[in-house]
Amino acid sequence: MFIAVCVYGAGRDNIDRRTLPTFSLQRFMGRWYEIARFDHTFERGMSRVTADYVLSPDGAVEVVNSGMRGSRRFTLRGRAKMTRHTGRLRVSFFWIFYSDYNILEMAPDGRWALVGSRSPRYLWILARTPSLPEAELEHIVSLADGRGYETRNLIYVEQ
């Protein structure tokens, strides 16, 4: 007997993972606030989540993710590198294990980004500010939904 299980948005895998046709790594650098995400163990229960990207002299990117779980701040440092595929980074927080980090959509003015990975279980909505206007957020969610993500599983992050 076969039983299909939907876990954290992974139920369907008809995801459109196409990244941005043009992408500027320098423009992506700086602080991003996590507006929404799919649930996963390494961020479970976290609020006030940020990600800081800093370009290193060697061309790699230092990534510092930070968030609160209760009254305690957790910080995780990693590295990212560009790939030959426009809009795709390879990110590692755990030694030599790298994961795809696909910039799927980005506001023309760089105010927000929709980011996914190779797995349909990972999706993030990031913004340069701790919140976005409701209409703009609805637009981003509709873009994710149009790409095949189970957006009803998004967790909206308290900032």
* Position 6 confidence tier, pLDDT thresholds 50, 70, 90: very low
* Cα 145 versus chain centre, distance: 15
* Position 148 confidence tier, pLDDT thresholds 50, 70, 90: very high
Q: Give the CA angle between residues 50, 20, 116 to the nearest 5°.
A: 45
List Cα–Cα distances, 4 to 9, 10, 12, 158, in angstroms. Answer: 13, 10, 10, 32
- The per-type count for the chain, helices as H runs and strands as E runs, is 2, 9
Q: Identify the DSSP state of 29.
A: -
> If we measure between CA atoms, which residue out of 95, 97, 133, 89 comes closest to residue 115?
89
* Position 4 confidence tier, pLDDT thresholds 50, 70, 90: very low
In whole angstroms, give the CA distance from residue 143 to residue 130.
20
User: What is the per-residue pLDDT across 26-68, written as a single tens digit (0 to 9) for each?
Assistant: 999 999 999 999 998 889 999 999 999 999 988 889 999 999 9
Residue 90 has a pLDDT of 85
- Three-state DSSP at 2 gives coil
For residues 35 and 97, the model is more confident at: 35
- Rg, C-alpha atoms of the chain: 15
Residue 8 has pLDDT above 70, yes or no: no
Which residues, 6+ apart, have CB-to-CB distance to 87 below 8 Å? 19, 20, 21, 23, 102, 103, 104
Tell me the average pLDDT across 116-137. Answer: 96
Query: Which is it for strands 61-69 and 72-82: parallel, antiparallel or unpaired?
Result: antiparallel
In whole angstroms, give the CA distance from residue 36 to residue 139.
13
Give the mean pLDDT of the chain.
Answer: 89
- For residues 128 and 111, is the Cβ–Cβ distance under 8 A? yes
Residue 106 has pLDDT above 50, yes or no: yes
* Position 7 confidence tier, pLDDT thresholds 50, 70, 90: very low
Only one residue has tokens 């939907």, namely 6
Residue 81 has pLDDT above 80, yes or no: yes
Tell me the average pLDDT across 106-112. Answer: 96
Q: Considering all CA atoms of the chain, what is the largest pairwise distance in Å, rounded to the nearest integer? A: 54
Residue 12 has a pLDDT of 53
